[in-house]
Amino acid sequence: MKKRAAFCCAALVTMWLLLFCVGAAHGQTPPRNPRPKPPTLVRLETNITTNKVSIFFIPAPFHVDYVNAEGTVIYRRKVVDGKVEWEEIGYVPGAGTTGVIEFRDVNADISKGPVAYRLASRSSAGNSEMTDSHETMFLQYTYDSCRDEVHLKWNDYKGWANKFTQYLVCEVNNGTIIREDNYIGVIANEPGYRTEFAKKNLAREARYYYAIQVQRTPKDGEVFPDGKSRYDNWSNVISFETRKLIRPKLVIDSVMGKRGANRVCYSIDAAARVKRFELISRRDTTQGSTTWQVIDTFDDKSKKVTVDESEGVNSNSRYYMLRAIDACDQEVSRSFDLNSIVVRLTAKEDHNLITFNRLLVPSGSQAEYRLHRVIERIGAEIDEEIQVFTGEELPLEYKDRTDLPEFRGVNFLPKYRYYVVVREIPRGKSGVARGRSAMDSCYVEPEIVLPTAIAPRPTDGGPTAEGKRMEFRPLSSGTTPYEITIYNRAGQVIFHKENEPWTGKLPNGQYAPEGAYIYNVKLKSEGYKMVERTGSLMVVYPYK
């Protein structure tokens, strides 16, 4: 057994010596590593215009301890079902050189995410170990249109053995040309620093382009293998448009007053793209209030009218304005304000005094005011324009006489109503209706005439008392409701009716005897004080 072991050892030594001699005869030493030496991945270079990547590397050198490489394999990272795989994308033959070789990955796209690469040497004996990976930067952004702010975020750049000191946030011109040294931010490449940056106060209706740059320069006598004085690497370029200033045209067309309300009419640009519209109102500043209050909120741009029934809406002039609110709850547009017209009426002994406020009109325009009076006649109304006002200096008041003969008679009610129609007249153009006041009304005490005697018609078919009044009722300047009570000389009520005349008959249907009687008449004017008259009348029969 000992002889056999000694024989085996001698055979191994002899074989090793034989191989050594053969290698020496050819000038080679047997390699210690059965696989080739890995290449050197120098750097990545991204093209911000094409989003492609160039890989710069040095092939593996020949070394006695390694199998000679035949070429270099380029791998790109891909993720399949959540697992990282390295896919071969290229092969560059040749080895043993010291020069830097460029491989262009024409299928890369740095705008879709970070791209990572590793290299390996290839030989007939197998591939070398892979190099450490180099990974491009992928820039993403979040734009806050309400705050006019963009938030940039990117992944760490993995390359150059992390031998760089900072990230430069760069503004890019038109997406292609880098503005040299136009850095809007510097983020240190140190532990604890986040690869994020926020840019505030962006201009609206503008397009921005951003990219991240890293730089590396030689240090401590270092010389780059390709002779470069500086290495640069860029992220993808992001671009976005800031919020457009959407200013829809808004117009308050008119304010039409009616009893207890104002009907506000407006127009909204059909192309408006906003979150909502608000109709706001405030009282006349002369009343000491300047606070705008929202009276209607809506999102329907086809809406045309809002009825304001706020308390006291007809008591004082109201200003109205329409505004547009965007998705950020910010006002982006507003109309000019338009105020209501309020008529104030004071009843005097022989006239009504009408006053009203002015319309707010733009410079270069003037307002025209048309005052109307409405009087009720039996079965109809008389609406008459009684005065026109133009010019900003004229006092807006009018005295309307109420003691004129044409307003006295049984056909008229003792009620006067007034309203104002106002038009805006731009210089050199025709007028545009802007408003109408609510009606204001007053009552004039009716003029009452009571007969002093009546001649009832006899029941025996005798002649009538022509020219004589045959019934007792009030003769008024209006058709005001009335109530009649007739007393005999003993104080007994012989007639009591509302809105019916006394024809001279007693409760038993017979005509009252000639003589004196006492009457009490009450006129009940709606909205006015009651008018009461008491007196005596005579019943006579001129033809017996």
- pLDDT tens-digit readout, 431-464: 677 877 777 666 555 556 788 899 886 545 444 4
Beta strands (DSSP E) in 378-471 are 380-390, 397-401, 412-426, 432-436, 440-443, 448-449, 453-454
Sheet containing 515-523: order of strands = 453-454, 531-539, 515-523, 482-487, 493-498
Residue 396 near residue 356, CB atoms below 8 Å: yes
Q: Which two tokens mark 91?
A: 């092969």
Nearest in space to 193 (alpha carbons), one of 216, 164, 221: 164
Q: Which CATH class is domain 33-135?
A: mainly beta
Choose between 415 and 389: higher pLDDT.
389
| Alpha-carbon gap, residue 361 to 364, rounded angstroms | 8
Choose between 98 and 534: higher pLDDT.
534
Nearest in space to 486 (alpha carbons), one of 421, 538, 433: 538
Model-level pTM?
0.57
| Alpha-carbon gap, residue 264 to 256, rounded angstroms | 6
Q: Which CATH class is domain 139-241?
A: mainly beta
| Alpha-carbon gap, residue 447 to 409, rounded angstroms | 9
Q: Is pLDDT of 479 > 60?
A: no
Pick the CATH number of 448-539 from 3.40.1130, 1.20.120, 2.60.40, 3.40.50: 2.60.40
Q: What is the pLDDT of residues 103-159, one digit of tens each?
A: 999 999 999 999 999 999 999 889 999 999 999 999 999 999 888 999 999 998 888
387 burial (CB, 10 Å; 0-12 / 13-18 / 19+) is middle
List Cα–Cα distances, 148 to 145, 168, 202, 515, in angstroms: 5, 22, 5, 98
Least-confidence region, from 199-208, 317-326, 473-482, 503-512: 473-482
The predicted model gives 35-53 an average pLDDT of 92
- pLDDT, position 16: 42
Residue 520 near residue 493, CB atoms below 8 Å: no
β-strands 207-216, 231-234: how paired? antiparallel
Q: Is pLDDT of 422 > 80?
A: yes
Q: Which two tokens mark 25?
A: 């005869």
Choose between 359 and 287: higher pLDDT.
359
The predicted model gives 363-385 an average pLDDT of 83
- DSSP of 391-411, one letter per residue? SSSS--EEEEE---GGG-STT
Q: Which two tokens mark 225?
A: 């293998």
User: Quick one: CA dihedral 465, 471, 477, 479, positive or negative?
Assistant: negative
222 burial (CB, 10 Å; 0-12 / 13-18 / 19+) is exposed
β-strands 432-436, 250-258: how paired? parallel
Q: Is pLDDT of 530 > 80?
A: no
Q: Which two tokens mark 82?
A: 């959540």
Determine how many CB atoms are found less than 10 A away from the CB of residue 535.
12
β-strands 40-46, 53-58: how paired? antiparallel
Residue 242 near residue 206, CB atoms below 8 Å: yes
- pLDDT, position 527: 46
Residue 273 near residue 246, CB atoms below 8 Å: yes
Domain 343-443 has CATH 2.60.120.10: no
Q: What is the mean pLDDT of the chain?
A: 82
Q: Which CATH number is 254-339 given?
A: 2.60.40.10
Residue 232 near residue 212, CB atoms below 8 Å: no
The predicted model gives 193-201 an average pLDDT of 88
